[in-house]
Structure 1
Amino acid sequence: MKSAPPPREVLPWNRFGDASRELAQVVVDSGWMPDLVIAVARGGLIPAGAIAYALGVKAMGTMNVEFYTDVEETLPEPQVLPPMLDTSVLAGAKVLVVDDVADSGRTLEVVMRLLRTGTTPGAGPHTVTPAPEHLPAEARSAVLYTKPQSVIEPDYTWRSTDRWIAFPWSSLPPVTATANTEA
């Protein structure tokens, strides 16, 4: 017998825009402003773009990290994947790292350790660590959701929940070819 799916929190597209702006407002109200926004791909791509627009920050980068392979299924350790961020642009910058959720927090922990110290054990065979002279002046993190079991407390969070989150960009399966395709 198949077990029931975990309880879900649904973030619809029409609420996502408000959530992103509210999270950006929390950052602004803290008195700190980033020079650069880094998205943790893939889940953080859309929130990072929305938050960067709301903050008026045009400089953006991406760190590709794989950890979750399915609902409640992960790799043994988060893996930083190519293409790699050009770390030379980080030197002396104030960097805001954005992801959709700090669930276990292990992905965000890997990214933040990499940006704060230039090291990250177990981050994958392709990881390029920034040279000490390329480290940002300061790196902070922002997520839409934080879960109670997260091993890292993000600097900025929109909401806390213990539920599985259905994000509008990842709640449907990937698009596949239709059986009736005509050229």
Structure 2
Amino acid sequence: MYYSYNDFLGDLKELRAKIEEKISVPDAIVCIARGGMVMSHMLALAWNLRAVYTLNAISYSDCNVQSSLIIENMPHIRGEYQKILVVDEIVDSGKSLEVIMQKFRSAHPEKSFYSAVIFQKPTAKVYADFYLKHAVEWIDFFWEVDMLEKKS
């Protein structure tokens, strides 16, 4: 299924409203690269946040099959930030999100960490704190396909 920019924009506005309703505006955003990059950028602009962190969680091979989980560049969250939103585009198996949230909560037990995604697979072992839609098929996000050269 192709997920367009227009669908994304509408969904991100809806997700933003859900987050604001429950926790107000977070103090910082952690982007799970690469899927959460567009989301974190746009949410940071909407909330006028400069505290945007990035980490790498690599769990897919080129064949769209889950492989071993590699997490790199875990950020150290500065002391004044208490409500931190971790964003990604989808929770698939839930393995990445579970490990990342555990690492943050262990490293910073005094802070509140929340997770937000647009798509949640109903079969995942964990659910994001905020999500909009259940994913029932493979999703081709616009940022994954629109900039690729089309071959004739």
TM above 0.5, yes or no, is: yes
In the alignment, is the contact (CA less than 8 A) between 1:103 and 1:146 conserved in 2? yes
- How far has the Cα of 1:107 moved from its partner? 1.1
Name which of 109, 117, 120 aligns with 2:106: 117
Q: Which residues in structure 2 correspond to 1:92-171 (within 5 Å)? A: 93-118=82-107, 134-135=108-109, 137-171=111-145
Aligned positions, number: 151
The higher radius of gyration belongs to 1
Looking at structure 1, the residues matched to 39 and 32 of structure 2 have their Cα atoms a distance apart, in angstroms, of 10
Q: Is the 8 A contact 1:90 1:136 kept in 2?
A: no
The sequence identity of aligned pairs, in percent, is 27
The offset of 1:32, in angstroms, is: 3.6
Whether contact under 8 Å (2:55, 2:75) holds in the other structure is: no
Distance 1:110 1:153 in 2: 13
Alpha-carbon distance in 1 for matches of 2:135, 2:77: 36
Deviates more, 1:38-47 or 1:65-74: 65-74
- Supply the AA of the counterpart residue of 1:107: S
Change (3 A) 1:13 1:57: same
- Two-structure CA RMSD over aligned residues (Å): 2.4
CA contact (8 A) 1:104 1:149 kept: yes
Asked if residue 79 in structure 1 is aligned to residue 62 in structure 2, the reply is: no
Q: Provide the secondary structure at the position in 2 that maps to 1:111.
A: helix
- Which runs of 5 or more structure 2 residues have no equivalent in the other structure? none
Residues 92 and 135, structure 1, Cα contact 8 Å, conserved in 2: no
Residue from 45, 56, 61 that aligns with 2:48: 56
- The structure with the largest helix share of the pair is 2
Q: Distance in 2 between matches of 1:54 and 1:87?
A: 23
2:89, 2:81 → 1: CA distance? Answer: 26
**TM-score after normalising by structure 1:** 0.73
The one-letter amino acid paired with 1:25 is: A
Aligned-partner residue type, residue 110 of structure 1: V
Unaligned runs of 5+ in 1: 1-7, 119-133, 179-183
Aligned to 1:4: none
Work out whether residues 54 and 75 of structure 2, in 8 Å CA contact, stay in contact via their aligned partners in 1.
no
Three-state SS of the structure 2 residue aligned to 1:20 is helix
User: SS at 1:22's partner residue?
Assistant: helix
Measured in 1, the distance between the counterparts of 2:84 and 2:48 equals: 14
SS at match of 1:67: strand
Distance in 2 (alpha carbons) for counterparts of 1:90 and 1:168: 36
Tell me the distance in 1 between the aligned counterparts of 2:63 and 2:122: 17
